[in-house]
Each structure stands twice: as C-alpha cells, then as structure tokens.
Amino acid sequence: MSFRKRFMVKPAAKVRLADIDPGFTGHHRHKSDAAAEIEADTKRLTELQYLLYAGNAHALLIVLQGLDASGKDGTISHVFSGLNPQGARVHAFKEPSKEELAHDFLWRAHLQTPARGEIVIFNRSHYEDVLIVRVHDLVPKSVWSKRYDLINSFEADLGQANVTILKFYLHMSEGEQLERFKGRLDDPHRRWKISEADYTERSYFKEYMKAYEDVLEETSTEYAPWFVIPSDHKWFRNLAVSKIVVETLETLNMRLPPVTVDLDQIRRKYHEAAARTGAS
C-alpha cells in the first residue's frame, strides 16, 4: 500500500486519534532503514518541482498542522531542503495582526496561496481558526462551527484553479511532546524556542485532540485530503511526508512544455555570434 493511501483520512470518515499509533514506523525499524529512501525522495521532489515550475499549469499547497514540538519546522527543513527558492516559499501563521483581524478569517490565507508553478508551505494555517479559537473559546461555537464549510469551499475554489492541496497533521504523543520540550531546555541552541505557552497549552491536550478529530472528519475531501502522520519518530515523519508529496505530484503527469522558438534559427544565430567572437 502506498503511503498516500495508508495515511489519508477518507472523506466523512470517523477519526479517533487515540487509536492511531504516533510511534508507528511500518516495516522500517531504524532511521538508517529510511535514509536512502528519504534521499531519493528529496532528489525526486527537486525534479518534480522543476517540472511544476516550467509547466506553469499547476500549483501545490502543503498545510502542516500539529501541536507544539510536533515537527512542523523540522519537516520543512528536512523534506523540502532541495526545493529551488525561486519557486517555493514558506508562510508561518502566527497571532493575527490588527489588519488581519479586520478581515474575514480566510483573508490572510488567501493572500498566501500559491501561484501557478509555485509550491507554498503553510506552517500552521487557516485551521487555527477552528482549533485554538475553539479550544480557548475565543469565538462562540455558533461562529467557529460554520467555518468548516467555509474552509471546504475555499479549498474547493483553489482546486478549481489547479492548486493541489495536501494537509498533514503531525500526530505526536503527549509523552513525546514532553521529551521534546526537555530537549529544548537541555540544548543551549534551542532554548530560544521555549515559551510559557508550550507548557500551559499542554493542559488542553485532550481538547486539542477532539478539535483535531473534528477538523479531520469535517474537512478531509477528495480535492484537499488530510493525512495523519505518525510523528514520534522524526525520521519516519520525514519519510512519510516526502513519499506522499512525491506520489501526489507524480499523479499530475507533468512534462516539460514544448519549445516555442525556431531552434534552427537560434542555432544559426549562436554560430554566427561564436564566429564573430572567435574572429575578434
């Protein structure tokens, strides 16, 4: 079974995150088992990005969601390290600005969606408006509960514009999260990432799990599927995400665009210019 099929949330499927093992690694037992595959996928992704950019017919939007320390930054730096910055960018969704709050909740997301030929990665996303907003009761249920349909319509519109959407929930256990927080405390190079919110948010772990379950059930669609990625092992998280991105882009059957100039004429001009250069 492909990674895409293995981890995809089928539309309208019931999701119980407690039944999904965040430590799952399939037949891979160690990081070394997956290293060659990850390297090959990284190389293949570079090739596919080139076709996407050259063809200028499709775009790719990748949404990364997960609890603090689940590996959104790590996924970006490892899986997408080979992308050409000319055709790829990352946008991190933080606390909304005053300008963003003055618009509808999807406004800031729409501003960052990819153009044709581009790959855009959302580090957190428009889904914060049915996650943190819900957990912390920032708006009434009568408001956030209507947003699922609005999000689905928004993503359907992007799909009509040839934007392929892949949404990854990085599924991490509560115990692994605590270990990663400890790692930040012990590592002088990562202590800057520590915040009080890391620990206060942990008290809402069950509430976030329920909120994520509803998101996965309500907004995993044929045109914008969710994937639940076991993320207790960083190397397997990277392997799974890279496989799914590559598998998906390959389904687009992209080819280099046809040549639009007279090659014989261009060659003649080249030889004429070379001859002049040689004569001088």
> What string of pLDDT tens digits covers the 280 residues of the chain?
899 999 999 999 999 999 999 999 999 999 998 999 999 999 999 999 999 999 999 999 999 999 999 999 999 999 999 999 999 999 999 999 999 999 999 999 999 999 999 999 999 999 999 999 999 999 999 999 999 999 999 999 999 999 999 999 999 999 999 999 988 888 888 888 777 777 788 899 999 999 999 999 999 999 999 999 999 999 999 999 999 999 999 999 999 999 999 999 999 999 989 888 875 4
**Of the candidates 215, 167, 173, which has an alpha carbon nearest to the alpha carbon of residue 21?**
173
Instruction: Report d(CA 232, CA 251) in Å as an integer.
Output: 29
| CA torsion, ordered 47, 53, 57, 62, to nearest 10 deg | 80
d(CA 280, CA 163): 51
Spatial separation of the C-alpha atoms in residues 39 and 242, rounded to whole Å? 10
Q: What is the CATH number of the domain that holds 227?
A: 3.40.50.300
Neighbours of 91 (CB within 10 A): 17
**3-state DSSP of 150-170:** HHHHHHHHHHHCCEEEEEEEE
The DSSP secondary-structure symbol of 174 reads: H
For every residue of 109-129, DSSP letters joined together read: HHHTPPPTT-EEEEES-GGGG
Distance between CA 133 and CA 107 in Å, rounded? 16
Name the phi and psi angles at 89, rounded to 5. Answer: -155, 160
Report the relative pairing of strands 226-230 and 8-9 from DSSP bridges: antiparallel
Task: Give the Cβ contact number of residue 78 at 10 Å.
Answer: 18
Q: Which two tokens stand for residue 17?
A: 């995150």
Q: 64, 170 in Cβ contact below 8 A?
A: yes
Domain count, the chain: 1
The pLDDT assigned to 106 comes to 98
Return the residue matching tokens 């581009």: 118
From the list 186, 205, 176, the residue with the least C-alpha distance to 74 is 176
Measured in degrees and rounded to the nearest 5, phi and psi for residue 160 equal -65, -25
Distances (CA, A) of 94 to 32, 100, 158: 35, 11, 22
Around Cβ 208, how many Cβ atoms within 10 Å?
19
Q: Which pLDDT belongs to residue 280?
A: 46
Structural domain boundaries, residue 89 = 3-279
Give the residue among 258, 265, 213, 251 at the shortest CA–CA distance from 58: 251
Rounded-to-integer distance, Cα 78 and Cα 239, Å: 10
